[in-house]
Amino acid sequence: MKNIKQNLFFAIFMVISTVSFAQSIVTGTTVDPDSNLPLPGVNIVEKGTKNGVSSDFDGKFTLQTTKTDAVIVISYIGYLSKEVPVSGNVDLGKIKLESSEFGLDEVQIIASVAVDRKTPVAVSTIRSEEIELKLGTQEFPEILKSTPGVYATKSGGGFGDGRINLRGFESDNVAVMINGVPVNDMENGAVYWSNWAGLSDVTSSMQVQRGLGASKVAVPSIGGTINIISKTTDIEEGGSIGTSVANDGYLKFGATYSTGLMDNGFAATVSAYKTDGNGYVDGTEFNAVSYFLNISKQIGEDHKLSFTAFGATQRHGQRQNRQLISTYRATDSGKRFNADWGYKNGQVTHQEDNFYHKPQISLNHYWNISDKTTLSTVLYASFGSGGGGGYSGTNKFGLGTDGVSDYRTGLYGPVDFDKIVDENEAQGAYGSETILRASRNDHNWYGLLSTLDTQITDDIVLIGGVDLRTYKGIHFSEVTDLLGGQFYADDADVNNPNATYKVGDKWSYNNDGLVNWLGVFGQVEYSKDDLSAFVSLSGSNTSYKRIDYFNYLDSDPDQETDWYDFFGYMAKGGANYNLTDNHNVFANIGYFEKAAGFDGVFIGFDNENINPDAENQKIFSMELGYGYRSQKLTANINLYRTTWDDRTETYTFNQPDGTSSTANLLGVNAIHQGIEVDFTYRPTDRLRVTGMMSLGDWRWDNNLEGVEIYDEEQNLIETVDLYIEDLHVGDAAQTTFALGANYEIMERTNLMLDYNYYDNLYAAYDPSDRGTAGAPDAWKAPAYSLFDLGLSHNFDMGPFDVRLLARMNNIFNVEYISDANDGTGSTANTALVYYGAGRTFSIGAKLNF
Amino acid sequence: MKKLIFLLLAVGAMFTSCDPMEDIYNDLDSVETPIVGSEDYTLVADDYTAMGLSFSSFDTEDQAKELIPGFLSDTYSIWGKGSSVLVTYDLYKSNSIKSTTAYTVTEDDYDTLGFTYGNFDSAGDMTTLLMYKYPDAVRGDLVELTYLYYASGSTTEVTNSFILLDAWEMITQFSIEDYNAMEQTYANFSNEDVAEFNISVYLKTLFPYAMEDDSVVTMYELYVSGADNEMNLVPYVFDGSSWNAVSSVVSSSLQFGHDGDTWVPDNTIKYTVASADYTYMSSQLISVSGFEGPAESMGNYGNFDRREGNSNYWSLDMIETAMAILLDNNDPSAADDQKYLMTYDIYNGTNTTESMSLIKTDGVWVINE
């Protein structure tokens, strides 16, 4: 809309400028289309000449043209070039450049990307250029580590095993959307970042919306929403090749090519990267290939079609078992120590590993029905295949007493798989004692998301749509290595008792989780002058069904359950008011109910004892925000309070007739509140300083005392007590600071220094386990500070625009605990922990053409 | 403004200079972590010499308990608390006669000891008398006892010799007919080896229905040329097929444990709970109230779930119960004061082990604090 206004402005300007001079002065200000902030370094050239300037730090430029009537070309990487005919002295005013990516604006609508000084939610946005600068060898979620409310770690340190908590909430309470498509697991809500290895290479922007977020569809946005927009297709032809090397044998290389928008209306981009390495942590070797394909076509004036397919196939060794601090200290590897790997026949063999491939395929259709109405539709599918490896049978993988084990080579040494193989061989016709297996978690997921956006009056926009999903989770255990034995015997399959299994066979369990989702949403947006506001309503029906091929006979009707429906809804609203050009304030408030997860309905892999009355979780959240925008300083302050009531809590007991039954315990509540401050300061055009402070107060709210559970005959079965009042929520640092500087030390060369501080990290624990009165808070891990250093250098080499990047993370090699599980007595001696990575480095080069 | 930024960075650098783990490591380091070893060792001749002994044996068990700790401190100087060594050593058990006394049991003796008929009538009665009469007797004391004995309907006065070895034993002596039967012309032997062998053969004739582990203490006269004859004592044990002389040097063993300061006699048996043990404990507890879930979990995983608050959680009290059941099964005949250090697999979020020390007290296994 603003673009139209601008075009009108130029047209009128051209009509009235009738006076001609031999030369003329053209002035203007280039601004970023999203933030409305000045965009420095934009090239302004008089077409057909070498006469050109760059916009300065404030986005301002002054160009003296050689002719009175000239065409000015305004260009910047990542944006479409703009040609403006001028005549005589003219001030072009604010010039907004449009993204050069085809369909990006449209996908941002589907994805509910928040707009600064308009959408009343707390956001932080990181663009592809910054992702490239910051990522190095870090896990994808770690890009956000300097964002308020975020706690992101590598977890065990395996490739793709990173995790992110937002405002103290775990991944099942953080909505993640890729191009507007929700990707949280349909059964348990979790997000597995290893599914998205390589996504960082094709990410256009990553926006964290803290709290309720701007999403119109019903998503589990309790902590917030992470909105990832992939690249689409570049309208201009070009591409890049890149490679990087890093610590511990890390090597990555790949290429991207875009055809540009061709005369026939087609445009395509392909990208592929291969990444291999040994991992910083012992026994976390990995291989991954990621790919991205986008084909877009403009059909007539009003239709755009865009087909996107991306994914990554990866396999990586994992550190699954956390250890005591004293164990790490006793080992030679220290913070790199991992107990979950060994050698078989001279080859590294992982006791714990993960492999997955999940192509995400979508077809987007954008239709300008009229000037005022658009319809955006995504039809998508994803096919997950893979799982996590581990062992079954006799456990020969323990560390033993003080690291001495018959099945390890040396003190705390790697697993001696050869010994296990020998023992399995000796078992002969009795079959393997110990095997490796994979817990497969495949799925097929199809969805349709359609959004109609119509302008009712000049000030009011009505948005409505549907969100349909159908999902089948396929769960089974697969024998992956008999470790020398002839077979593995197991009687878990009632349809095949006394079965013997070989590699590739399904054994132990085999069941499907079916989920159907039907959602509708509507939103009214009001925007006039300095005020913008919205009210949003959405409802969703989740249906669950379970099929168990092993626990129930094929002849048993219980093998397949009925469908069980759960209804959730969300109502939220908010407003932003721009007090002046510098100051804005906003507020939002919302309530939603989230259906229990699949495991809260089908408890204990049971098709008979179903919990059809699983309670909704209830979330109430409100937030106040203040923003300051000026050419040198932008700053935000947010205050939030989120209450999370009736966390799914079930208790299983036996009825008098011997069947088991489930009680839903209500009242496990948490309150997460806090204050977040972030700023960007540009004292000169060569220095940019960013900073963040996030102070959270996240606690469980109240004790559950004397909750009585009765069976059908009103016999008192159990009195449940949970003592959790005022206990700090664990697993995420409640206090975080960040400070960063990006300084242009010479032309096209930048030095970046980032400082992060984390405190009040309480060990993770399950509040359901807190049955003892007076037990202390979970163990608090020591606060830690990390420094990261980066250097980028750009230069031209023939037809290439070359960028060199060097990064060193944790430059002081600080030893710190990033993840902890609480132990007996909640002390440092009993906590099971992961150490964060020590000093790591990476060097990369990218050639753009 | 620049100054402010550098100030902030400087403050940040101060944070960094601190090692976040320092306090935790200091705490960990303040707890002693002794080196724990375990060994079976048999003393050799040089070891006895090193302990200042002229023979390669101890005279008494008390002497072994007194001298071995010093030897272990020298030999295993780097081992600390929790270490244990099972020491095998030779104990000299003298079978020589130290003193000889003759005594005739009086009417008062019978009265005092409750023999109301004024005589003895079973083998144990003489032991009762000897223990009463000679409470301070030591090994090698011989008593020629004259007493009234009732058997087969009549009471006769008999004289027999008794000697205190490990306990009071009646001595089997040989008559001239016995010596002749053992191919000796006179009522003595002139060679110790011949005596030992011939007696072992002759005992078969004397005790044709002997059972395994039956024992007999024999005494024979040894002819010594140019001096007084000697009375020699030889105990025999029947092994089921033949009588074997018991050597005076007996191989014994004692376990010593390191208590943090020194080595002390300690009978602790270190035992690592095996796969079959978990199955056994699980089967014994699966239907015991309060143990159903934890026992099932143990049966499935072969370990104790030690995640506090978890429904399958094993408290220390519960583990004590399970260990007592296991020890009663594995070592039912253990004597009181027998100690066990049980090491068992646990799951507390990761697979590791814990240990528990138990002692048998009044026939029941309890935690040894």
Contacts with A325 from chain B: Cβ below 8 Å: 21, 24, 28
Handedness of CA B171, B175, B178, B183 (dihedral sign): positive
Q: What per-residue confidence (pLDDT) applies to A781?
A: 95
**Nearest CA-CA partner of B142 in B165, B167, B162:** B162
Is residue A78 pLDDT above 80, yes or no? no
Residue of B nearest to A319 (CA): B350
**How would residue A30 be classed by pLDDT, with cut points 50, 70 and 90?**
confident
Is residue B213 pLDDT above 70, yes or no? yes
Contact A519, A217 (CB under 8 A): yes
Rounded to a whole number, what is the distance in Å from the CA of B34 to chain A's nearest CA? 12
CA angle A513, A514, A519 (to 5 degrees): 135
Is residue A3 pLDDT above 70, yes or no? no
Contacts with A603 from chain B: Cβ below 8 Å: none
Give the residue, B349 or B215, on which the prediction is more confident: B215
- CB-CB under 8 Å, A681 with B350: no
Q: Which of B2, B15, B345 sits opposite A785 (nearest CB)?
A: B15
Q: What per-residue confidence (pLDDT) applies to A68?
A: 81
Is residue A642 pLDDT above 60, yes or no? yes
Fill in the DSSP letter of residue A824.
G
Contacts with B310 from chain A: Cβ below 8 Å: 769
**pLDDT single digits (tens) A553-583:** 999 999 999 999 999 999 999 999 999 989 9
Q: Which of A395, A739, A771 sits opposite B9 (nearest CB)?
A: A739
**Nearest CA-CA partner of A181 in A310, A372, A269:** A310
Q: What is the DSSP string of A153-210?
A: E-TT--TT--EEEETTB-GGGEEEEETTEE-S-TTT----GGGGTTGGGGEEEEEEEE
Is residue A359 pLDDT above 90, yes or no? yes
Distance between alpha carbon B200 and the CA centroid of its chain, in Å?
A: 29
- CB-CB under 8 Å, A823 with B309: no
Rounded to a whole number, what is the distance in Å from the CA of A613 to chain B's nearest CA? 23
Q: What per-residue confidence (pLDDT) applies to A738?
A: 96
**How would residue B2 be classed by pLDDT, with cut points 50, 70 and 90?**
low
Rounded alpha-carbon distances, angstroms, from residue A843 to A140, A202, A504, B310: 17, 19, 40, 47
**Nearest CA-CA partner of A398 in B275, B347, B300, B323:** B347
High-pLDDT (> 70) share of chain A, %: 96
Q: If you average pLDDT over residues A437-450, what whole number do you get? A: 95
- CB-CB under 8 Å, B301 with A329: no
- CB-CB under 8 Å, B9 with A741: yes
Is residue B300 pLDDT above 90, yes or no? no
Q: What per-residue confidence (pLDDT) applies to B9?
A: 57
**How would residue A16 be classed by pLDDT, with cut points 50, 70 and 90?**
very low
Rounded to a whole number, what is the distance in Å from the CA of A599 to chain B's nearest CA? 17
Q: If you average pLDDT over residues A48-70, what whole number do you get? A: 83
**Nearest CA-CA partner of A740 in B1, B20, B12:** B12
**How would residue B1 be classed by pLDDT, with cut points 50, 70 and 90?**
low
Q: Which DSSP helix (H) or strand (E) runs through B110?
A: helix B107-112
pTM, rounded to two decimals: 0.80
Q: If you average pLDDT over residues A117-124, what whole number do you get? A: 89
**Nearest CA-CA partner of A309 in A261, A274, A264, A357:** A357
- CB-CB under 8 Å, B349 with A832: yes
Q: What per-residue confidence (pLDDT) applies to A34?
A: 66
Is residue A663 pLDDT above 50, yes or no? yes
How far apart are the C-alpha atoms of A328 and A337, rounded to whole Å?
A: 6
How far apart are the C-alpha atoms of A678 and A95, rounded to whole Å?
A: 27
The residue among B2, B11, B21 with the most chain A CBs within 10 A of its CB, best to mutate, is B21
Contacts with B348 from chain A: Cβ below 8 Å: 823-824, 830, 832
How far apart are the C-alpha atoms of A565 and A614, rounded to whole Å?
A: 10
Q: What per-residue confidence (pLDDT) applies to A92?
A: 84
- CB-CB under 8 Å, B24 with A326: no
**How would residue A13 be classed by pLDDT, with cut points 50, 70 and 90?**
very low
Rounded to a whole number, what is the distance in Å from the CA of A472 to chain B's nearest CA? 30
**How would residue A4 be classed by pLDDT, with cut points 50, 70 and 90?**
low
- CB-CB under 8 Å, A768 with B24: no
Q: If you average pLDDT over residues A300-316, what whole number do you get? A: 91
Contacts with B5 from chain A: Cβ below 8 Å: 689, 741
- CB-CB under 8 Å, A323 with B15: no
Q: What per-residue confidence (pLDDT) applies to A814?
A: 94
Residue A739 CB contacts under 8 Å (≥ 6 apart), including other chains: A689, A690, A691, A692, A754, A755, B8, B9, B12
- CB-CB under 8 Å, A401 with B355: yes
- CB-CB under 8 Å, B351 with A321: yes
Position B285, amino acid:
L
Q: What per-residue confidence (pLDDT) applies to A75?
A: 81
Contact A308, A231 (CB under 8 A): no
Is residue A634 pLDDT above 70, yes or no? yes
- CB-CB under 8 Å, A782 with B350: no
How far apart are the C-alpha atoms of A145 and A785, rounded to whole Å?
A: 12
- CB-CB under 8 Å, A398 with B302: no
Which span out of A134-143, A380-389, A700-709, A760-769 was modeled with the highest average pLDDT? Answer: A380-389
**How would residue A600 be classed by pLDDT, with cut points 50, 70 and 90?**
confident
Location of structure tokens 């996504």: A199
Q: Which of A399, A689, A769 sits opposite B352 (nearest CB)?
A: A399
Q: What per-residue confidence (pLDDT) applies to A14?
A: 47
Q: If you average pLDDT over residues B241-251, what whole number do you get? A: 88
Rounded to a whole number, what is the distance in Å from the CA of A771 to chain B's nearest CA? 6
Contacts with B287 from chain A: Cβ below 8 Å: none
**How would residue A23 be classed by pLDDT, with cut points 50, 70 and 90?**
confident
**Nearest CA-CA partner of B88 in B337, B248, B269, B255:** B255
Contact A283, A213 (CB under 8 A): no
Paired residues of A123 in beta bridges: A209
**pLDDT single digits (tens) B63-95:** 999 999 999 999 998 998 889 999 999 988 888
How far apart are the C-alpha atoms of A221 and A242, rounded to whole Å?
A: 36
Is residue A798 pLDDT above 90, yes or no? no
**Nearest CA-CA partner of A479 in A354, A391, A352:** A391
Please enumerate residues of B whose Cβ is less than 8 A from a Cβ of A: 1-2, 5, 8-9, 12-13, 15-16, 18-21, 23-25, 27-28, 36, 275, 301-303, 306-310, 343, 345, 348-353, 355
**pLDDT single digits (tens) B97-140:** 889 999 999 999 999 998 888 899 988 899 999 999 999 998 88
- CB-CB under 8 Å, A828 with B19: no
- CB-CB under 8 Å, B349 with A394: no
**How would residue A196 be classed by pLDDT, with cut points 50, 70 and 90?**
confident
Q: What per-residue confidence (pLDDT) applies to A581?
A: 86
**How would residue B207 be classed by pLDDT, with cut points 50, 70 and 90?**
very high
Residue of B nearest to A329 (CA): B25
**How would residue A273 be classed by pLDDT, with cut points 50, 70 and 90?**
very high
Is residue A8 pLDDT above 80, yes or no? no
Residue of B nearest to A814 (CA): B19
Q: What per-residue confidence (pLDDT) applies to A20?
A: 42
Q: Which DSSP helix (H) or strand (E) runs through A506?
A: strand A506-528
> How many Å from the N-terminal Cα to the C-terminal Cα in chain B?
65
Kindly report the average pLDDT of chain A as a whole number: 89
Rounded to a whole number, what is the distance in Å from the CA of B257 to chain A's nearest CA? 18
Contact A685, A665 (CB under 8 A): no
Give the residue, A649 or A341, on which the prediction is more confident: A341
Residue B42 CB contacts under 8 Å (≥ 6 apart), including other chains: B87, B88, B89
Fill in the DSSP letter of residue B96.
S
Q: What per-residue confidence (pLDDT) applies to B15?
A: 53
Is residue A318 pLDDT above 90, yes or no? yes
For A639, the token pair is 């205050």
For A248, the token pair is 């511990």
How far apart are the C-alpha atoms of A785 and A577, rounded to whole Å?
A: 37
Q: How many CB atoms lie within 10 A of CB B211?
A: 8
The beta-strand segments (E) located in B1-125 are 38-42, 84-92, 99-104
Q: Pick the range with the lowest mean pLDDT from A212-226, A448-462, A495-509, A772-786.
A: A212-226
Q: Pick the range with the lowest mean pLDDT from A16-25, A65-74, B25-34.
A: A16-25
Paired residues of A540 in beta bridges: A519, A568
Q: If you average pLDDT over residues A28-43, what whole number do you get? A: 78
Q: What per-residue confidence (pLDDT) applies to B7?
A: 56
